[in-house]
Structure 1
Amino acid sequence: MNHRVAVLVLDGAKPLDVGIPAQVFANRPTMPYQVYVCGAAPGPVAGGDGLSYHVAEGIEAFAHADTIFIPGYRQPATTEPPDAVIAALQAAHRRGTRLAAISTGAFALAATGLLDGKRATTHWHYTRALAKKYPQVRVDENVLFVDEGDVLTSAGAASGIDLCLHLVRRDHGVGLSNIVARRLVAAPYRSGGQAQYVPRSVPEPLGDVFAGTREWALARLDEPLTLEALARNARVSARTFSRRFVQDTGYTPMQWVLRARVDLARELLEVTALGVEQIAARVGLGTAANLRLHFQRILGTSPTEYRNTFSS
C-alpha cells in the first residue's frame, strides 16, 4: 500500500508551502506515495498571497494518513490553529502518524505540545517569535530542517523541498530521492544542518538606543573593539552600556560586533576576489582560521563554501 501523505491547508496558507509536498509526493508510477489535501473543514480556505483553496476533505482525513504536512501560513505569531485541528494532530501522532511542518507551519505543530523539549526550526524571520511563543521548544535558527523522528520541521519554503527529499531518502533510499530531485530540477541533497543564510546575522535594531555607537563600530570593524571602547563612545559605563544594549538588540555588545564582522566578511566574499586571510584582517578577525571558526559557528558553513554559493 502506498504511503499516504495529507497536506493540511490552514487559513493564510502559503501557496508554495502547500505545493511542495503536494508535488513531491504526487501519486505516479515511480512514487510509492498517495497525497491528498485537506483543511480544518471541507470547502473554501482563504490563502496567502492573493490565492485561495478549495479542499474536499476536513481533518477526518488524518485518520488515513501516514504523514501529515503542515505548510506555513501568514501571521503565525498571532494566529492560533483551531482547537479541533490541534486535537486531531495530537490524536494522529498518538496513532503513529509522522508530522512535518514547512516554514511557519512549525507554529501549528508547536501548539500541539509535540515539539516541547525538542529541536525545531522555522523561517529565519520567525525563529525568535517561535521561541518566545513556545519557550519549551529548542528553536535552532541556523539549520534548513530538523528531524526528530516522528516530528520534523523546516525553514523557509525552498527548504521544504530539502525536507521532503530527506523523507523520501529515509523511506526508500537515495535512488528514489535522486529521481524525485531530478524531476524537480532541485539539488539532490542539502544537509539539514546547513545554515539558512539569513540576509544579515546582525539583528535589526529594536530602537535608537546607542544607534550612533553602532554606526561608529560598523565603520571600525577592522580595529580592536572592546566593551570599554564602545561604552566610552556612548558616554556611559561599561555595565550600563552592556545592559541596555542587550535590552535593545537581544545580543551582548561583543556578540553583536562578532556578527557584524561575519556579515562584512560575507559581503567581501560575495563581491571581491580577496583571499580568506585578507578578508579576516579587513573585518577584524585576525586570521583565516579565526574567520572559519566563527563562520562555522554562526552560519554552519565555511567561507569557501559560502563564496561558491553566493559569489557574483
Structure 2
Amino acid sequence: MESNKKYWKGLEEYKNTPDFVENNKNEFAEPLPIEDVLNEAGLSTVTPRRDFLKALGFGLGAVTLAACQTAPVHKSIPYLIKPEEVVPGIPNYYVSSFNGQSVLVKTREGRPIKIEPNPNAGTFFRGTDAQAQASVLDLYDVSKLKAPVIKDAEANWAKVDEFVTGELNKAQASGKKIRIVSSSVSSPSSKAVIADFTVAYPNTKHVQYDAISYTGIIKANENSFGKPVVPKYNFDKADLIVSFGADFLGTWISGEEFTAQYVSNRDAKSLKAGKMSRHFQFEAGMSLTGTNADTRVPIRLSEEGPALITLYNAITGANLAGGTLGNNVT
C-alpha cells in the first residue's frame, strides 16, 4: 500500500526558503565540465583550481583503472593436520651455520625468509656477512633445477642413487681413483660422513678448494709461530693498526666481527677518554677499510713487500734488503 505521507528534514525544507534552495544546489558534486574545458573558448580562459583538480583526479583514476589487469589468483590452502609448532602468521626461528658463522634463521610456515647472527653464539658470535644474508635467495631461485638430471634427462633420486652407486662400484672394482671435491669442511657431521664414505671406497681422496683461500695466512702463521691457524684479531684492544691490503672491515676473514671491534675503539666514548686507535692503510685499490683509515697510502701490489720490509726495519732496527720504495711512499 503506497503511503501519502511526506517528510521534511527541517522547517527550511518545508518552507522552501531561498537559502535552502541555494544550499541544496551544492549538496551533490557537479559533473566535470570536460567539454567546456576542452573547447576553444575553454582553453583560452583561466581554469579554476578546483576544476583543474577535478579533471586531474578523474584522469589519473581513469588511466589507473584502464591499466589494471586481472591479478593472478593465489589460493591459500589451510593445514589438514597442522604441525604443533607452526602457527600461521607467527614466525619460527632455528639455529644453523653458514661458512662457519652461527646464524639464526627466521621462517614462516617452513619458508626461510631472513638470516641474522645468532646472539647466543658466545665466543663464536661473528655477525653475518653479505653472502650469508643473500644465501636465503638461493632457496627461491626459479632457474634452479626442479629435479635431478642424468645425462640431460630428468630423473628421480632413486635412479640417481642407483646410477651413482653403480659407477662407484665400477671405479672401485677397476682400481680407479675416486675424488670428492668440496669447499673447506669444518662440520663434524660432514667429516664423519666423508670418513664413512672413504672406508667404503678406499680409493677415495677428499680435495678441499675455496674460491677465497686463507692458505697463505695459515702457512705464514705456521712458519712464524709453529701453528697452522687463522689468527683471531682484537681490534678493540689495538692502539695502532697498520694494514697492508687487508680489507678487514669488508671481506677479509670476519669483516662483521672486526667492524664491531674497530668501531668500539673509535667512537665518542673513546674520544672522551682520550684513547682512540690510529689506523694506517697501505693498499693498491680502494677498499671499505681504506676509506675509514686515518691515513691511506696508495701503493702498487709490487710495493707491498718492500713496504713491509721497510716497516720491519724501522721497528726492529734490522737492515733487511729489499726495502726500497717508490717516490709515492714515505
Is TM (by shorter chain) over 0.5? no
Return the TM-score normalized by structure 2: 0.22
Larger Rg: 2
The structure, 1 or 2, with the larger RCO (C-alpha pairs under 8 Å, 6+ apart) is 1
Report which of the two has the higher share of helix: 1
Return the TM-score normalized by structure 1: 0.23
